[in-house]
Chains A and B, each alone.
Chain A
């Protein structure tokens, strides 16, 4: 019974993440309207199932009369793009540090641990806010700021798993066979820790998407009129008492995406772990 639920949860995660990714990629072809086109005559139209809703705007329109459904779809693009790029950037930093520290041990490891500890002592949101407010907000700045900050979990996991792998005999065999160090790290160590790192990647992706939304909400994420979900929530907060759906639509979208990514990560952890034991 419990196992069945897990299967269902994993399937749901896959469907949500793949669905949103697909929507993000196909955005220009599936949006019914231009997400930037304002129409002041059609402001704050409620979604189709509410009183006063109409077929042209399935999810209604915002305070400037832009089609909410189209903006939501373009917002998925921003979220997925930021999530992916941040994970690539932070993964590259964290995995490199972790594998090097875990494999060599001793003083190298002490240096890596020191760098990780330094990073852990930095308040994430505060630094992100400071950097963005100094450099100015753009998609690139948000990606790099988060990418340079969110690597510590990659580093910790890569380090401990590398330490477990490096004492195994196949590493000794590769060493005795005269394999080069890059070969040993990339071909012998990395493939045997990558299933742990995939799980970290899903967690970090969800976190990056939430942080981008938080930064955008504070007005320091991607600049308007780009339709980020966080920005949509921020713009909607002035109207939430009179038309609560303006804040609920992007809020629910964000919740569903983060939930989907987390379900996917949990499922992958169970699956990849089981595959290894078999």
Chain B
């Protein structure tokens, strides 16, 4: 197994100012996260809003520096790379194709932008842009349009074309389908899957939609309050969730059966304040099976039947 991307104890701390007289609060958006993604595979990262998924994506993309820990891409530290060489290795696909495309530039220029940044000649740019647009299933006539003239699905295809035009090794997809209509979501998801196989890409796929993650990922990591509480192969995780949080997440998926109503997952309280992380196991205030020691002892990552989990009890 060759590892495309390895994250070792990545931590990102933000300082939140609390006014003139308050002391600044430190928020650990990502707190000691470690994982490795095999080349050519897809790691799905799931979690509630505010759990640090998007911050993690920005760390991997190098858009934010890590506070501590390191991120290795094909054995090289991300921090040692300049932006241009990083761009050749990793590219993003963002959630909202309405804000990820510059409204004032033509599709041709948007897709050509990464090539331009690498200093590739104009003529070669044009042919590569054309090739890429065909590849993501867009008609060539679209190249001269502005983003406002395209549908949401078409825009996301443009964003994918822009991400792939440099032929990167790794693509970080930050909720690439959640802003789209349900009918379009499947098309985009299948396109991403197909491109991964054809071009041998490695995906880090972030989503709060469990069905989407189950469909596309080989491995799934569950994030809670900045930490990864469970990692396992996709089939394994969905068949036999081990961490109580994962169980609750899977139970929270709405069924198409209208009579069943909204499932009670026993999580009770709302999502905790990331600036004020509970002591011990950070999940214990909401955990249905928590015991007294969960509030004191901090669980360390351990291996259980092929699942890597952080729980004292499971």
Q: Which residues of A contact B (CB under 8 A)?
A: 168-170, 172-180, 183, 187-188, 191-192, 276, 278
Contact, CB under 8 Å: A175 / B83: yes
Contacts of A192 in B (CB 8 A): 102-104
Contact B117 A169 (CB under 8 A): no
Q: Are A170 and B114 in contact (CB under 8 A)?
A: no
User: Which residues from 92 to 117 on chain B have a C-beta closer than 8 Å to any C-beta of chain A?
Assistant: 92, 94-96, 99-105, 113-114, 116-117
User: Is B113 within 8 A of A177, CB to CB?
Assistant: yes
| Bound CA–CA A180/B101 (angstroms) | 17
8 contacts between A and B (CB under 8 A): A172-B58, A172-B100, A174-B113, A174-B117, A178-B87, A178-B114, A188-B102, A276-B103
Determine whether the beta carbon of B84 is less than 8 Å from that of A178: yes
- Indicate if B62 sits at the interface (CB-CB under 8 A): yes
Residues of B within 8 A of A188 (CB): 102
Q: Looking across the interface, which residue of chain B has its beta carbon closest to that of A181?
A: B83
Task: Judge whether B162 is part of the interface by a CB distance below 8 angstroms.
Answer: yes
The residue of chain B having its C-beta at the shortest distance from the C-beta of A172 within the complex is B63
Measured CA separation A187–B105 after assembly (Å): 9
Assembled-state Cα–Cα distance A212/B157 (Å): 54
State which of B96, B99, B117, B148 has its C-beta within 8 Å of the C-beta of A177: B117
**CB-defined contacts of B55 to chain A, threshold 8 Å:** none
Provide the residues of chain A in CB contact with B114, threshold 8 Å: 177-179
Chain B residue contacts of A278, Cβ below 8 A: 148
Instruction: Give Cα A179 to B86, complex, Å.
Output: 11
- Determine whether B61 belongs to the interface, using a CB cutoff of 8 Å to chain A: yes
Rounded to whole angstroms, the CA-CA distance of A168 and B99 in the bound complex is 6
Most interface-central of B104, B105, B116 (chain A CB within 10 A): B104
Q: Are A179 and B102 in contact (CB under 8 A)?
A: no
User: Chain A contacts of B105 at CB under 8 A?
Assistant: 187, 191
A258 to chain B, nearest CB (A): 31
Contact between chains at A169 and B162 (CB < 8 Å):
no
The answer to whether A173 touches B148 (Cβ under 8 A) is no
Residues on B with C-beta less than 8 A from A183 are: 116-117
Q: Which residues of B contact A175 (CB under 8 A)?
A: 63, 83
| CB <8 Å contact, A180 and B92 | no
Q: Which residues of B contact A172 (CB under 8 A)?
A: 58, 61, 63, 92, 94, 100
C-alpha gap A174/B90 in the complex (Å): 13
Provide the B76-96 mask, 1 if CB < 8 A to any CB of A, else 0: 000000011011101110111
Interface centre among A170, A177, A180 (most CB of B within 10 A): A177
B49 within 8 A of A: no
Closest 7 CB pairs of A and B: A178-B87, A169-B100, A177-B114, A191-B104, A169-B94, A178-B84, A179-B117
B99 / chain A contacts, CB cutoff of 8 Å? 168-170
B298 within 8 A of partner (CB): no
A276 vs B86: C-alpha distance in the bound complex, in angstroms? Answer: 33
Q: Quick check: is B16 within 8 A (CB to CB) of the other chain?
A: no
- Neighbouring A residues of B103 by C-beta, 8 Å: 192, 276
The reply to whether the CB of B118 lies closer than 8 angstroms to some CB of chain A is yes
Known: A169-B94, A172-B63, A178-B83. A191 touches B102 (CB 8 A): yes
**Which residues of chain B come closer than 8 Å to A187, judged between CB atoms?**
105
For A191, what are the chain B residues with a Cβ–Cβ distance below 8 Å? Answer: 102, 104-105
- Asked if A170 and B102 sit within 8 Å, CB to CB, the answer is yes
Question: Across the two chains, which residue of chain B brings its CB closest to A174?
Answer: B113
The answer to whether A180 touches B100, judged by C-beta atoms less than 8 angstroms apart, is no
> In the complex, which residue of chain B has the Cβ closest to the Cβ of A277?
B148
Q: How far is the CB of A228 from chain B (nearest CB, A)?
A: 39
Closest to B172 in A: A176
The contact of B87 among A168, A169, A170, A176, by CB within 8 Å, is A176
A150 and B139 CA atoms in complex are apart in Å by 48
Contacts A174-B113, A176-B91 aside, 8 further interface pairs with beta carbons under 8 A come to A169-B94, A169-B96, A170-B101, A173-B162, A174-B117, A176-B62, A176-B86, A179-B116
Chain B residues within 8 Å of A177, by CB: 87, 91, 113-114, 117, 162, 166
* Interface members, chain B 104-163 (any A CB < 8 Å): 104-105, 113-114, 116-118, 148, 159, 162
Q: How far is the CB of A231 from chain B (nearest CB, A)?
A: 42
Partner of A169 from the list B90, B95, B166 (CB cut-off 8 Å) is B95
For B62, the closest partner residue in chain A by CB is: A176
Contact partner of A178 among B95, B100, B118, CB < 8 A?
A: B118
Residues of A within 8 A of B62 (CB): 176
Q: Of B90, B101, B104, B148, which is within 8 A of A176 by CB?
A: B90
Cα–Cα, bound, A185→B96 (Å): 22
Give Cα distance in the complex from A177 to B88, angstroms: 8
In the complex, what residue of chain B is closest to A173 when comparing beta carbons? B100
Minimal beta-carbon separation of A179 from chain B (angstroms) = 4
Q: Complex: how many Å from CA A173 to CA B95?
A: 12
Q: Name A173's contact: one of B94, B116, B166 (CB within 8 Å).
A: B94
A168, A169, A187, A278: which has the most chain B beta carbons within 10 Å? Answer: A169
Q: How far is the CB of A55 from chain B (nearest CB, A)?
A: 53
How far in angstroms is the closest Cβ of chain B from A88? 22
- The distance in angstroms between the C-alpha atoms of A168 and B102, with both chains bound, is 9
The residue in A178, A180, A183, A192 that gathers the most chain B C-beta atoms within 10 A of its C-beta is: A178
In contact, B92 and A173 (Cβ under 8 angstroms): yes
Interface residues of B in 184-202 (CB under 8 A from A): none
